[in-house]
Structure 1
């Protein structure tokens, strides 16, 4: 306290972060026309150090005073409903907690109503009541709409060059007649490759540990905020995309957490213990053995509370060890500790380690006759059976031969490159995450693959070293597959791919078609100093349904160099 009433939140932040440089500040909040402000810290130690500094600080001539605010009770919304006699069913509570059935809030306060919460199946699998053939047609229209943005983005890019240079942007695939012939897209769009499994196909789910609409402990999916502002979690039991084995494991964990003396994590107050339950499952066990389940429970704990925490986690392990699940599974259980910053902490230090509770924190999955090691944080397509179709499609689009050198950019654990390794001369995987590269190397060893190597580096740097190591004949046979995260490729990676002149065929795998359309501008625009070499041309787009009953669809696009374009058509 001690600020003038006209001091802004920006002024307070400048004091806290720039002038005083207080450590561990997570948030600063000051309301208008008030003389006080809230400063949030990540830990008790950082708060106490900040208090000492602030007590000796003057701001515009006034000595500041400091007091610890009384935290809000994280159970206040639950208690309020109990006091009001709330005995509704879960569905009724969800409707009433969102102001359903009236123009004012259900508590008569006159506050703005919230929209009624949707069911958990509608949130997680919004298309589950739609005929599957209609889903596929709907997803193809979504892809067409996203790809139609690319010609418009090219026209926008053309406005940034001189009038004389704009003619270079008039490519055949941006012509109005071409676009009409291809349904508005810059290339032919194939029918969506369907998923072999339509239900219970997800091999990975992240379940929130929180409270349901009645205030009871629940492990499931977050439905959003109810009327009181509380995040509502719903059980995954009705969700068609979650396997029966996962549902049984979640129910077992929920029973233990509900009886625990430690509360679920509360987002608004940043308090509580149980945060998240991540579950991974294998689908293709080669010897017909039961599927493997890997459970990773994430808990929030202060560094000084680690010993007490282990007692609670051992109890969770005992709950799973005491009796098997109703369906046969090979179960593994581990834990990750999380501090207030969202970082995992083991023995007081920030790291990515895991604590094993039951078995090794790994499972193994088969994909196209290969075995892959999967850790809790490893990337693996969520639909194993559909991913097999995806890799076969990629093999056909690459047009590989025994002389091909395949660049697997953003390779993750090496899934794509290793499945194609037997058909090519060499595979070079590039991935910025060192842990993922280690997984890829282990997976190569597991399958006896000796013609695959993996580089832990940024793609723009790794491409240079790879090119320098290739022979002239290998450069002639160079093909690249890129499978970036949802946001797409970084601008520097796009420039590096464009500047990799021996690369004539590029397959772009995207889980978010609009991101591809934005990236494609750099790959397909006319040659310039910034974007050297002939531009790429989109030849074929092929949607793949990895996510039945949802709006999401994978997109695979084949791009090839337009050798007819001049080498330097545009200056900028």
Structure 2
């Protein structure tokens, strides 16, 4: 499950601190803008297209607009259509209602090839047209220009509504602003927070009920009974489980490095807003409620160090500078890992080597020793074509290679890139519930999909015959194997790869009559191939879905329950139990557990829909 490309199931990690600037951030950090006039000038020094430079790759400079698309097509339809005709887009942004799409390419050759191939082509009775598209405008420069124009043309235009002439527009203190940005429920009583989250999940289940009815008419009689029982929901929603701790609960935080909102340079903390909102200001986490005191101590020590160096902070506006991000991982057994992200630009290797040596000395012998770091890593971030950091090699600088944690009486090691739930006490509540709902015995086989460091499968291993874990991150798989060994387990195995590639093969190889799947995917949910494989495997009768964003996983839920068709084979599932578990106090996010069971038809017949 992803803190933006980091914690795959942690929506609370999607904070202003974690925005990555690279090629893909053009998608994230710049808003769609109407074609610019020549006067704006893509290459003008002060223009809103200044982020486009010859020595920095961005696919925005190889962008086209495809018009007159057929109605009702989806992203995958367009991608398959283009691939079928030998076109390999870098990114696609589809506006299906307006029947057009922006498509970018990695180079001019690919772009020109696509324009030549697609323009005038017929697709579902529609004749497509293609034209060059302007890049998006940089939001900070765009906002700055608008403010300058407002100030020049209408004095006082920036004044807040309701402020009288001569009055100062008073802003809230920075600690309040950052609390509102990263922990928006910080001033809401915890019981009220839980009620809001439970209400949110209730709405998701009510929507799912409607969607099941729309996509599987055979379930309508059952749905009618369920809705009468459970307030228009398809299954009972059990009482939300609170987090055992509501303060300083995060064991992993990502801090951006930039210019402070108070004007202080080289500030480590959280962004007040996202780049696409026109803000890069950074505020210290010192007064935030969800960050641990151990992490705050590391931030303070690291900030002190970088302020003694000659290297500037990285600017997402100009793509210049070096210091980019600090990730801190902590554990309940008082181990702390720090991961420093640095853009080397064109610094010589010797200078980078000396910098790493200075970091090592500072945190082991110097003033930074008080930070109590037990593991230190250094990561080089360049101008890349991916917004994530999970694929970047981590250079071990000093200390142990891992930190360790205890959960449900078991021991786990954690690598820099490995996923581990960010609220350990609440994760124990979550995993205990999963274990209870799974109804396992010594003949059971558990498939742990998107298993991270193996926490769920390992916590259930002693109750079952076999556990098979699947995980994309190689580091996490190595951790999972080591964790199984450290806990004396021999009935556990782990496979590395994309779930959509590995899961069907693993599932088909399992001959056990008692198979339960537990899936804990990233925010976007499981790939449709995984859902289709689950549906086809008739011997798989029970599925527990752990969703960090139930709204985003809605398509998965619907596909599990929809009627049989040419695309979806196998008897459908239906939801029989649901619960919210609060892993992210002070925010609107929570984990949702849904138990799905295979429909048992007695006299009913399942019709095939094409």
TM-score by length of 2: 0.71
Aligned partner of 2:69 in structure 1 is: none
The separation in 2 between residues aligned to 1:226 and 1:530, in whole angstroms, is 40
The separation in 2 between residues aligned to 1:195 and 1:385, in whole angstroms, is 7
Aligned partner of 1:154 in structure 2 is: 212
Alignment check: 8 A CA contact 1:538 1:560 kept: yes
Q: Does 28-37 or 246-255 show the bigger shift?
A: 28-37
- Is the aligned partner of 1:371 residue 2:411? yes
Distance 1:342 1:360, change over 3 A: farther
Distance 1:496 1:250, change over 3 A: same
Alignment check: 8 A CA contact 1:529 1:568 kept: no
- Is the aligned partner of 1:529 residue 2:578? no
Shift of 1:310: 2.9
Q: Does 386-395 or 321-330 show the bigger shift?
A: 321-330
The separation in 1 between residues aligned to 2:515 and 2:575, in whole angstroms, is 18
The separation in 2 between residues aligned to 1:125 and 1:523, in whole angstroms, is 34
Distance 1:539 1:365, change over 3 A: same
The separation in 2 between residues aligned to 1:201 and 1:256, in whole angstroms, is 26
| CA deviation vs aligned residue, 1:503-546 (integer Å, no higher than 9, x gap) | 00100000001123321110011223322222111111011111
Alignment check: 8 A CA contact 1:100 1:116 kept: no
Give secondary structure in 1 for the equivalent of 2:361: helix
Aligned partner of 1:312 in structure 2 is: 355
Aligned partner of 2:327 in structure 1 is: 278
Give secondary structure in 2 for the equivalent of 1:297: strand
Alignment check: 8 A CA contact 1:262 1:273 kept: yes
Aligned partner of 1:430 in structure 2 is: 470
| CA deviation vs aligned residue, 1:312-358 (integer Å, no higher than 9, x gap) | 33333333223566978453221100101167999xxx973222222
Shift of 1:440: 1.6
Alignment check: 8 A CA contact 1:301 1:309 kept: yes
Aligned partner of 1:122 in structure 2 is: 180
Give secondary structure in 2 for the equivalent of 1:569: coil
Aligned residues: 486
From 227, 234, 238, give the equivalent of 2:287. 238
Could you tell me which runs of 5 or more consecutive residues in structure 1 were left unpaired when the two chains were aligned.
1-23, 55-72, 78-95, 159-166, 286-290
The separation in 2 between residues aligned to 1:25 and 1:485, in whole angstroms, is 18
Aligned partner of 1:381 in structure 2 is: 421
Aligned partner of 1:487 in structure 2 is: 524
Aligned partner of 1:84 in structure 2 is: none
The separation in 2 between residues aligned to 1:268 and 1:483, in whole angstroms, is 36
Give secondary structure in 2 for the equivalent of 1:119: helix
Q: Does 399-408 or 255-264 show the bigger shift?
A: 255-264
Distance 1:265 1:100, change over 3 A: farther
Shift of 1:501: 0.8
Alignment check: 8 A CA contact 1:539 1:559 kept: yes
- What is the aligned-residue RMSD (CA, Å)? 4.0
Q: How does 1:30-179 map to 2 (within 5 A)?
A: 31-34=36-39, 37-38=42-43, 44=55, 119-157=177-215, 167-173=217-223, 175=224, 178-179=226-227
| CA deviation vs aligned residue, 1:113-147 (integer Å, no higher than 9, x gap) | 99998611222211122221111111100100112
- Is the aligned partner of 1:208 residue 2:279? no
The separation in 2 between residues aligned to 1:227 and 1:386, in whole angstroms, is 33
Aligned partner of 1:294 in structure 2 is: 337
Alignment check: 8 A CA contact 2:322 2:342 kept: yes
Shift of 1:420: 0.6
Distance 1:430 1:45, change over 3 A: closer
State which structure, 1 or 2, has the greater radius of gyration over its C-alpha atoms: 1
Give secondary structure in 1 for the equivalent of 2:443: coil
The separation in 2 between residues aligned to 1:524 and 1:533, in whole angstroms, is 10
Give secondary structure in 2 for the equivalent of 1:197: coil
Distance 1:236 1:530, change over 3 A: same
Distance 1:547 1:226, change over 3 A: closer
| CA deviation vs aligned residue, 1:340-377 (integer Å, no higher than 9, x gap) | 1167999xxx9732222221342111111221111121
| CA deviation vs aligned residue, 1:169-193 (integer Å, no higher than 9, x gap) | 52412x2x63243123211001111
Shift of 1:279: 0.1
Shift of 1:404: 0.4
The separation in 2 between residues aligned to 1:345 and 1:531, in whole angstroms, is 32
Give secondary structure in 2 for the equivalent of 1:268: coil
Distance 1:105 1:426, change over 3 A: farther
Q: How does 1:170-569 map to 2 (within 5 A)?
A: 170-173=220-223, 175=224, 178-217=226-265, 218-224=267-273, 229-283=278-332, 285=333, 291-302=334-345, 305-323=348-366, 329-341=372-384, 352-471=392-511, 474=512, 476-564=513-601, 566=604, 568-569=606-607
Alignment check: 8 A CA contact 1:537 1:560 kept: yes
The separation in 2 between residues aligned to 1:32 and 1:104, in whole angstroms, is 37
TM-score by length of 1: 0.76
The separation in 1 between residues aligned to 2:275 and 2:543, in whole angstroms, is 46
Distance 1:345 1:279, change over 3 A: closer
Shift of 1:390: 1.1
| CA deviation vs aligned residue, 1:250-301 (integer Å, no higher than 9, x gap) | 1111112223211111111111110000000011x2xxxxx01100010111
The separation in 2 between residues aligned to 1:317 and 1:102, in whole angstroms, is 53
The separation in 2 between residues aligned to 1:446 and 1:334, in whole angstroms, is 24
Alignment check: 8 A CA contact 1:338 1:345 kept: no
Could you tell me which runs of 5 or more consecutive residues in structure 2 were left unpaired when the two chains were aligned.
1-22, 44-48, 62-106, 109-139, 145-155
